[in-house]
């Protein structure tokens, strides 16, 4: 019969008129997401074995990491892991490549940011986590919480380094101005820095470690210390009207 299709169409729309709406009022009402929905890529550093398979699997070079060899074993130590999410096409290849289940997608799909830099997700592996694996429990830079597992014994290199650090600490304690004079430019600055370090034992230890491990960084930190101290002094002088 002609016109049967028309009636059928009318019947369909009439049914829809009384059916439940499928619209989701998004900000107020969150959508139901399937279990394997690919939201934001997540990284679980505790599981990572730094094999690099994820970076090889990624077609868009989204993933990158920094590592250093672990002196205690043949493994590598992860320093930081970066997911540049703006290039990610959520293809799941990295997740499939990962042998330990380190990478996974969560259900968070609200990924927009105000700044371009904020799109990048950088995992700085906390020092404590590294210390657990690498550093001796009695190291002077030890800031690990006591719950840390017993650390492996330091090898020779590490012991040598430790000796140097200890020597530097004693040097700093004995003749601070001379010891720090290489870090800063002028003698006045060296004097201020020496004062700071003598006042605070913790800072002294940290500075000594840094001077052995990374000279450049130590210099920068020292300069920052000095500048801050100078600023503090100026403010104090201005506010308190104390004759200096």
Partner 1 sequence: MENWFVNIAHALTNWLTGLGLSAGWADFILLVVQWVFIIIIVTLNVIVLIWLERKISGFIQQRLGPNRLGPFGMFQTIADAIKLLTKEDIIPSATDKLIFRTAPMFFIIISVMLYVVLPMGENMVIVDLNVGVFYFISVGSLTTICLLMAGWGSNNKWSLLGAMRSVAQMISYEIPLAFSLLGVIMIAGSMRLSDIVAAQSNVWFIVLQPVAFIVYFIAATAELNRGPFDMPEAEQELTAGAYTEYTGMRWALFFLAEYTNLVAVSALMSTLFLGGWQGPFLPSWLWIIIKTYLVMIVFMWLKWTFPRIRMDHLMSFSWKVLIPVTLANILLTGIVLQLFKGMGW
Instruction: Give the separation between CA 41 and CA 61, rounded to whole angstroms.
Output: 14
CB of 231 to partner 1, least distance (A): 52
Residues 24-53 that bind partner 1 (CB under 8 A): 25
Here the tokens at position 198 are 């003598």
The window from 19-27, 116-124, 169-177, 190-198 that contacts partner 1 (CB under 8 A) reads 19-27
Site for partner 1 contains 6 (CB under 8 A) = yes
Instruction: Give the separation between CA 101 and CA 95, rounded to whole angstroms.
Output: 7
DSSP code at position 51:
-
Site for partner 1 contains 14 (CB under 8 A) = yes
Here the tokens at position 138 are 């009695």
Which of 17, 61, 110, 138 lies at the binding interface for partner 1 (CB under 8 A)? Answer: 17
Residue with tokens 């000279």: 215
Site for partner 1 contains 21 (CB under 8 A) = yes
Here the tokens at position 161 are 């380094």
The window from 20-28, 103-111, 114-122, 190-198 that contacts partner 1 (CB under 8 A) reads 20-28
Which of 4, 20, 46, 74 lies at the binding interface for partner 1 (CB under 8 A)? Answer: 20
Site for partner 1 contains 117 (CB under 8 A) = no
The torsion of the CA quartet 239, 220, 193, 165, rounded to 10 degrees, works out to 150
CB of 23 to partner 1, least distance (A): 5
Instruction: Give the separation between CA 31 and CA 136, rounded to whole angstroms.
Output: 49
The window from 16-24, 78-86, 165-173, 225-233 that contacts partner 1 (CB under 8 A) reads 16-24
Alpha helices in the chain (DSSP H): 4-18, 53-57, 93-97, 127-133, 156-174, 176-180, 187-199, 201-213, 215-240
- List residues binding partner 1 (CB under 8 A): 6, 9-10, 12-14, 16-23, 25
């Amino acid at each position: 019969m002609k016109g049967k299709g028309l009636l059928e169409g009318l019947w369909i729309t009439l049914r829809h008129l009384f059916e439940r709406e499928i619209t989701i009022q998004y900000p107020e009402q969150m959508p139901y997401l399937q279990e394997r929905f690919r939201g934001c890529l997540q990284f679980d550093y505790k599981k990572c074995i730094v094999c690099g398979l994820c970076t090889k699997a990624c077609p868009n070079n989204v993933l990158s990491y920094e590592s250093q060899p672990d002196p205690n074993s043949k493994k590598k130590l992860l320093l930081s892991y970066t997911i540049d999410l703006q290039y990610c096409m959520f293809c799941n290849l990295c997740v499939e490549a990962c042998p330990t289940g380190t990478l996974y997608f969560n259900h968070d799909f609200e990924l927009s940011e105000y700044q371009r830099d904020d799109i990048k997700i950088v995992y700085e592996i906390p020092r404590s986590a590294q210390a657990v694996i690498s550093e001796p429990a009695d190291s002077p830079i030890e800031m690990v919480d006591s719950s840390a597992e017993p650390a492996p014994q330091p090898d020779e290199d590490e012991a040598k380094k430790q000796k140097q650090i200890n020597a530097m600490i004693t040097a700093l304690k004995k003749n601070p101005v001379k010891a720090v004079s290489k870090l800063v430019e002028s003698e006045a600055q060296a004097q201020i820095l020496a004062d700071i370090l003598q006042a605070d034992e913790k800072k002294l230890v940290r500075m000594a470690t840094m001077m052995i491990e990374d000279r450049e960084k130590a210099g920068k930190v020292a300069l920052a210390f000095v500048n801050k101290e100078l600023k503090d002094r100026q403010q104090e002088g201005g506010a308190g009207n104390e004759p200096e």
